[in-house]
């Protein structure tokens, strides 16, 4: 059977816009023959693992997600055709027991994979996702190009939020001017206001003049004319140096194919996209020419200009109903109160689905409870409607008026007084 | 009445000038902060430097290893640096940086530059502990404890800070079979109230899930923010830890001295690894994490190193 690799679609002149997807494509292109795998352009909401890249192996009917897991899956389950093919790459996939020298190389590969995941990914997300200029001009259009229509409204913001969380510990959230502008506008108005009160006292400055004053005060000074990336350039260079210094010392050509592909995935996305604030590319081209060379050579070797990748159309998740359901789920995940319960339930459901594909079937209690609860709720609503419809429009149908018997006691205190008075008379 | 368009409507009202002038004079006078009570000096500091870590009272009195990986790492490093210190159990709320460990220098400091003895000594956060230890250490036999590791060890260090840390977080906080342990270590010492304990448990679990999700996107089964154990791919977390331990064991096998990277003695890298592996072997008996640890450690001298390590570093003394 043919392996199906679900990845984000192409962008920036590369086969995918995500680093791990890029690495997975490169790995499959190097280790397998063209007939052994298919690439399916997808998004996390379309696959049960909720994460890309994801490998679906129809022969074992398993879903494997994440680059590391995919690489080990290919090593343990090589497709039958690649073993007897004369491809020079397949030898690396079918060596069963690691020898002494291989053990060290495998250890290095594992360590480089962890290092790239821990340090290169946050740096890349600073450049492509956190920086709002780059996100708006390069990344968001790339996502819009690969997603069917309503999905660009839900998925790229979710991806961006996740990427921003990954880079949070670097403390560079000020690159995100979208988030910053809201708070500065408030602050600006506030400080402006107090300054005016101090200066003019009772006199009020007309609106247009106030705007002009603010403009001029904002333009004054070098800091006002610099972009956030320029202001933070020194710290950004430090952050990039910490990661690239380590990566630049490695001879990537001699590394195992797994680590080499992943390194290329991250480095290619740092170097190749055409972004309006190219600080990361400038740093790489200025100080790490070896890495740039590696990126370009690897691309020319693995993805030659005329070479075609085995892209195929996705299945039912690409239909109008499938896309609509994915969009609805994306919207639901943004609703303030419900979102948390919803994501928890949905994650649990997906997890059971993935687990079921991997091993013995586990019971899915929640799936039975949900229709049951929904059914009970619907029944209750229906019964309520039926009861309401059964009620007469304005109270009871027949109104009976009984004439009250007039006695002295119905006159209240006065009546009591009179009845007492009559009683006293008797 | 023209006004700036951005100002909210309730701020359009001008403060009358006399009132404005009156309030401009406040605060009339700011008093200096009160000193801490005298007894607090005796309770929190002593003639030895005091390291505040996550620990229990009896363990701290004996100087036993802390049950928090970050604290244990620094505790080990200070021992390696040859610093005499005592430890006290504490919580994050007590720390000036918001996280443990931190060190309180002795009351009467040997340094001539410090101020009078009545002033409380300033706490030292974890990042400055090694420089403090180096300053205190006057003998020439100070071991090489440079926190700036070379490139190759930085690569391997990410195995510890990413894969092992995630596995430890998952095993202790998210694995329901370790709830009793989590309550004993972190929750019950914090509060005796049931409500507070339940809330704290929820908060810790959520924070751990978020930590795992933020460090590596491939361990997540959800597109939205991960806030529960369901969203974390348990199998991927433990598989990564297994691979990491296998890689570390093979790296240790290359070294001839028995310490990482062929060093003469244990260093920062060894201490970081010890802080996780010791706790895994101490607390996680028979769980998924210990299975992962055994799978990874069986191939090399890592287990042997751990067995000898406690004696070598003399942590239990």
List of residues 6+ apart from A310 with CB closer than 8 A? A34, A35, A37, A38, A39
If you average pLDDT over residues A320-334, what whole number do you get?
Answer: 83
Task: Choose the mutation target among B222, B234, B238, B262 for the interface with A, i.e. most A CBs under 10 Å.
Answer: B222
Q: What percent of chain A has pLDDT over 70?
A: 76
Is A335 in CB contact (< 8 Å) with chain B?
no
Instruction: Assess whether pLDDT exceeds 80 at residue A127.
Output: yes
**Beta strands A62-65 and B86-89, pairing class:** unpaired
Q: Give residue A263's pLDDT.
A: 93
Range among A156-160, A340-344, B216-220, B225-229 rated most confident: A156-160
Q: What percent of chain A has pLDDT over 90?
A: 19
Inter-chain CB proximity B223 and A155 less than 8 Å: yes
Interface of B with A in 176-195 (CB under 8 A): none
Is B11 in CB contact (< 8 Å) with chain A?
yes
Q: How far is A162 from chain B (nearest CA, A)?
A: 7
Q: Give residue A24's pLDDT.
A: 93
Q: How far is A158 from chain B (nearest CA, A)?
A: 6
A28-52 pLDDT tens trace: 998 888 888 889 888 888 888 888 8
Range among A35-49, A110-124, B107-121 rated most confident: A110-124
Three-state secondary structure along B227-279? CCHHHECHHHHHHHHHHHHHHHHHHHHHCCCCCHHHCCCCCHHHHHHHHHHHH
**Residues of B in Cβ contact (< 8 Å) with A348:** 230
Three-state secondary structure along A106-141? HHHHHHHHHHHHHHHHHHHHHHHHHCHHHHHHHHHH
Residue of chain B whose Cα is closest to the Cα of A67: B218
Inter-chain CB proximity A103 and B20 less than 8 Å: no
**Residues of A in Cβ contact (< 8 Å) with B15:** 197
Measure the CA–CA gap between A314 and A380, rounded to whole angstroms.
41
**Lowest pLDDT segment from A9-18, A82-91, B253-262:** A82-91
If you average pLDDT over residues A286-310, what whole number do you get?
Answer: 88
Q: Chains A, B: CB contacts under 8 A, how many?
A: 163
Is B230 in CB contact (< 8 Å) with chain A?
yes
Inter-chain CB proximity B223 and A339 less than 8 Å: no
| pLDDT grade for A244, boundaries at 50, 70 and 90 | very high
Instruction: Assess whether pLDDT exceeds 70 at residue A180.
Output: no
Q: Give residue A143's pLDDT.
A: 92
**Lowest pLDDT segment from A19-28, A372-381, B88-97:** B88-97
What is the interface pTM, i.e. ipTM, of the complex?
A: 0.77
Q: What is the mean pLDDT of chain A?
A: 78
Instruction: Assess whether pLDDT exceeds 90 at residue B229.
Output: no
Instruction: Assess whether pLDDT exceeds 90 at residue B98.
Output: no
Is A277 in CB contact (< 8 Å) with chain B?
no
Greater confidence (A159 vs B316) lies with A159
Instruction: Assess whether pLDDT exceeds 80 at residue A226.
Output: no
Instruction: Assess whether pLDDT exceeds 70 at residue A398.
Output: yes
Is B243 in CB contact (< 8 Å) with chain A?
yes
Q: Give residue B113's pLDDT.
A: 44
Instruction: Assess whether pLDDT exceeds 70 at residue B116.
Output: no
Greater confidence (A297 vs B150) lies with A297
Residue of chain A whose Cα is closest to the Cα of B225: A162
If you average pLDDT over residues B213-225, what whole number do you get?
Answer: 65
Measure the CA–CA gap between A111 and A326, rounded to whole angstroms.
36
Measure the CA–CA gap between A301 and A89, rounded to whole angstroms.
13
**Residues of A in Cβ contact (< 8 Å) with B156:** 111
**Lowest pLDDT segment from A3-17, A339-353, B137-151, B179-193:** B137-151
**Residues of B in Cβ contact (< 8 Å) with A246:** 151, 154-155
Q: What is the mean pLDDT of chain B?
A: 75
Range among A21-25, A361-365, B83-87 rated most confident: A21-25
Three-state secondary structure along chain B? CCCCCCCCHHHCCCCCHHHHHHHHCCCCCCCCCCCCCHHHHHHHCCCCCEEEECCCHHHHHHCCCCCCHHHHHHHHHHHHCCCCCEEEECCHHHCCCCCCCEEECCCCCCCCCCCCCCCCCCCEEHHHHHHHHHHHCCCCCCCCCCCCCCHHHHHHHHHHHHHHHHHHHHHHHHCHHHHHHHHHHHHCCCCCCHHHHHHHHHHHHHHHHHHHHHHCHHHECCCCCCCCHHHECHHHHHHHHHHHHHHHHHHHHHCCCCCHHHCCCCCHHHHHHHHHHHHHHHHCCCCHHHHHHHHHHCCCCHHHHHHHHHHHHCCCC
Instruction: Assess whether pLDDT exceeds 90 at residue A212.
Output: no
For the domain spanning B44-109+122-132, the CATH number is: 3.40.30.10
Q: How far is A136 from chain B (nearest CA, A)?
A: 21
Task: Choose the mutation target among A97, A113, A350 for the interface with B, i.e. most B CBs under 10 Å.
Answer: A113
| pLDDT grade for A215, boundaries at 50, 70 and 90 | low
Is B19 in CB contact (< 8 Å) with chain A?
no
Q: Give residue B108's pLDDT.
A: 60
Instruction: Assess whether pLDDT exceeds 50 at residue A202.
Output: no
Inter-chain CB proximity B223 and A112 less than 8 Å: no
Measure the CA–CA gap between A58 and A80, rounded to whole angstroms.
13
Task: Choose the mutation target among B217, B226, B231 for the interface with A, i.e. most A CBs under 10 Å.
Answer: B217
Q: Given A108, A114, A206, which is nearest B158 (Cβ)?
A: A114
Q: What percent of chain B has pLDDT over 70?
A: 71
Is A85 in CB contact (< 8 Å) with chain B?
no
**Lowest pLDDT segment from A56-70, A327-341, B27-41, B138-152:** B138-152
Could you tell me the two tokens for B183?
Answer: 């309550």
Residue of chain A whose Cα is closest to the Cα of B296: A107
């Amino acid at each position: 059977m043919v392996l199906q690799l679900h990845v984000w679609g192409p962008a920036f002149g590369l086969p995918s816009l995500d680093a791990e997807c890029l690495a997975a494509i490169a790995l499959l292109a190097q280790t397998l023959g063209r007939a052994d795998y298919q690439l399916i352009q997808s998004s996390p909401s379309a696959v049960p693992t909720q994460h890309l890249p994801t490998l679906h192996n129809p022969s074992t009917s398993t879903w494997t997600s994440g680059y590391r897991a995919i690489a080990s899956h290919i090593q343990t389950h090589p497709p039958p055709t690649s073993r007897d093919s004369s491809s020079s790459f397949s030898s690396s996939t079918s060596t069963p027991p690691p020898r002494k020298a291989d053990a060290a190389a495998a250890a290095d590969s594992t360590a480089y994979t962890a290092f790239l995941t821990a340090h290169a990914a946050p740096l890349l997300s600073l450049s492509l996702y956190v920086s709002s200029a780059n996100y708006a001009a390069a990344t968001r259009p790339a996502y819009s190009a690969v997603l069917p229509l309503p999905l660009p409204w839900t998925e790229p913001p979710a991806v961006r939020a996740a990427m921003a969380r990954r880079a949070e510990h670097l403390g560079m959230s000020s690159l995100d001017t979208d988030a910053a502008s809201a708070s500065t506008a408030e602050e600006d108005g506030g400080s402006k206001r107090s300054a005016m009160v101090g200066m003019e006292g009772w006199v009020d400055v007309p609106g247009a003049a106030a705007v002009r004053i603010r403009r001029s005060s904002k333009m004054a000074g070098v800091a006002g004319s610099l972009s956030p990336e320029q202001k933070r350039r020194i710290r950004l260079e430090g952050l990039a140096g910490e990661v690239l210094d380590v990566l630049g010392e490695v001879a990537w050509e001699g590394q195992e194919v797994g680590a080499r592909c992943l390194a290329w995935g991250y480095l290619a996305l740092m170097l190749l996209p055409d972004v309006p604030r190219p600080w990361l590319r400038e740093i790489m081209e200025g100080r790490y020419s070896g890495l740039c060379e590696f990126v370009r050579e690897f691309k020319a070797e693995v993805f030659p200009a005329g070479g075609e990748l085995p892209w195929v159309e996705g299945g039912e998740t690409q239909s109008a109903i499938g896309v609509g359901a994915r969009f609805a789920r994306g919207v639901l995940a943004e609703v303030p109160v419900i979102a948390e319960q919803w994501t928890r339930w949905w994650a649990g459901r997906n997890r059971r689905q993935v687990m079921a594909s991997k091993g013995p079937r586990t019971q899915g209690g929640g799936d039975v409870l949900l229709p049951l609860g929904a059914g009970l709720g619907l029944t209750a609503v229906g019964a309520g409607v039926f009861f309401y419809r059964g009620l007469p429009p304005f109270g009871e149908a027949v109104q009976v008026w009984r004439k009250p018997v007039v006695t002295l006691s119905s006159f209240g205190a006065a009546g009591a007084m009179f009845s007492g008075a009559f009683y006293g008379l008797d | 009445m023209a006004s700036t368009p951005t100002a909210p409507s309730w701020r359009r009202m001008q403060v009358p000038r006399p009132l404005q002038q009156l309030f401009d004079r406040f605060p009339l006078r700011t008093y200096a902060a009160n000193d801490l009570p005298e007894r607090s000096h005796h309770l929190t500091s002593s003639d030895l430097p005091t390291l505040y870590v996550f620990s229990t009272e009896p363990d701290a009195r004996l100087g036993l290893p802390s049950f928090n990986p970050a604290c244990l790492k620094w505790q080990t490093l200070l021992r390696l640096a040859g610093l005499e210190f005592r430890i006290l159990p504490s919580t994050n709320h007590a720390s000036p940086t918001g996280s443990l460990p931190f060190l309180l220098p002795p009351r009467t400091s040997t340094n001539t530059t410090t101020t009078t003895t009545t002033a409380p000594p300033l706490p030292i956060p974890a990042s400055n502990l090694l420089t403090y230890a180096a300053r205190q250490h006057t003998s020439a036999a100070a071991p090489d404890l440079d926190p700036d590791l070379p490139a190759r060890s930085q690569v391997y260090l990410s195995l510890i800070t990413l894969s092992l840390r995630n596995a430890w977080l998952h095993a202790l906080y998210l694995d329901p079979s370790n709830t009793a342990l989590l309550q004993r270590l972190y929750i019950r010492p914090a509060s005796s109230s049931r409500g507070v304990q339940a809330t704290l448990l929820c908060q810790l679990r959520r924070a751990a899930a978020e930590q795992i999700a933020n460090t590596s996107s491939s361990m997540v089964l959800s597109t939205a923010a991960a806030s529960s154990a369901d969203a974390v791919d348990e199998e991927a977390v433990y598989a990564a830890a297994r691979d990491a331990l296998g890689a570390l064991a093979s790296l240790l096998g290359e070294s001839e001295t028995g310490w990482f990277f062929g060093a003469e003695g244990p260093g920062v890298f060894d201490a970081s690894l010890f802080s996780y592996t010791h706790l895994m072997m101490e607390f996680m008996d028979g769980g998924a994490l210990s299975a992962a640890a055994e799978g990874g450690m069986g191939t090399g001298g890592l287990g042997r190193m751990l067995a000898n390590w406690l004696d070598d570093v003399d942590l239990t003394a």
